[in-house]
Structure formats: structure tokens, C-alpha cells
Amino acid sequence: MIDLKPIGYVEAVRPHAEDDFWGSEQSCITLVEGLGADALQGLTEFSHVEILYFFHEVGDAKITTGARHPRNNPAWPAVGIFAQRGKNRPNRLGSTVCRLLRVEGARIFVAELDAIDKTPVLDIKPVMSEFLPRELVRQPAWSHELMRQYWLTKP
């Protein structure tokens, strides 16, 4: 049995998930009671953090376990749920590398977190270059097309 409890919650402008234009997003993560500012001590020495979170608005009926066309676009190949980063995953886990803006007490402010308001945060990790890929990242053409507007700012 795995028993995960949120370590914090996202405060964000978006109340519901959208596919694109996450580039201008700034969010705050407030740690839960019992986790204080000392849990974030030293974090400001890092430029980026990885946020692991739970897609809390995805109901059981929306979970996908097999292959599907990303964003239901038939122009893109049907690929398994583990060959895409969609929110309708079996365990509903999300992960995003964000710019760390600042830390204030038990609150962390980040840019470009693609999580919505009230999202439960499961972990915060500092990004270290030694944990990034050590060789060129390879990905299919459709994924570049899918991500073309993802990190742009809202028009």
C-alpha cells in the first residue's frame, strides 16, 4: 500500500486544466501545517524546482490505460498513456520543472507550473544538472507539434 499525503497546495489563477499557454503562469505553493519554512531552507540557491503533483480533477471514468491520440487529434498517432504526458494517467501524477521565483516562509513562488488552483503537491525537488539527461533528448515530430503553444504566454 502506498499512502501519499500532500505536502502543500497550489494557488494559481487557472481553476481548470487547459492545454496551452502556460508560459505566463506564476503560482504559489503553500506547505501544509506541520511543514514549516525550514523545509524550504536552502532552496533559493537553486534556479529551478521540479514539482510533483496530483491531477485532482481527473475522475476515475477519465483514466486512460491504453493507446489514444494525444488531445484526441487523429493527425497524431495513437500512443500508449506512458508515451505521452496527458493528465488522464492511471495514478494521475504530474511533474513539471519550474523557475523558482522566491521563497517566503512556508510558501514557494514559481513560474510556469502547469497545475491548476488547489492542486495537491506531493513533492518539491531542486533541479540539479546532474539529474538532467546526459545526452541529446529524442522525441517524435508529433510531440513537438503538440507542445508548440504549450509554454507560450496567453494571447
Contact in structure between 121 and 10 (CB atoms under 8 Å): yes
pLDDT attached to residue 20: 55
State how far the Cα of 146 lies from the Cα of 10, in Å rounded to an integer: 25
Give the rounded percent of residues in the chain with a pLDDT score beyond 70: 94
pLDDT of residue 150: 77
Contacts of 42 (CB under 8 A, 6+ apart): none
Q: Looking at the domain 8-147, which fold is it?
A: Elongation Factor Tu (Ef-tu); domain 3 (2.40.30)
Q: Which residue did the predictor score with more confidence, 132 or 120?
A: 120
Given a cut of 80, is residue 154 above it in pLDDT? no
The rounded distance, in Å, linking the Cα atoms of 146 and 6 is 30
Side-chain-side CA neighbours of residue 93 (13 Å): 12
With a cut of 80, say whether residue 11 has pLDDT above it: yes
Strand partners, 84: none
* Burial readout 79-102 (b: 16 or more C-beta within 10 A, e: otherwise): bebeebbbbbbeebebebebebee
> 52, 43, 54, 36: which is closest to 123 by C-alpha?
52
pLDDT attached to residue 21 = 54
**Every domain of the chain and the residues it spans:** 8-147
Phi first, then psi: give them for residue 110, nearest 5 degrees: -135, 160
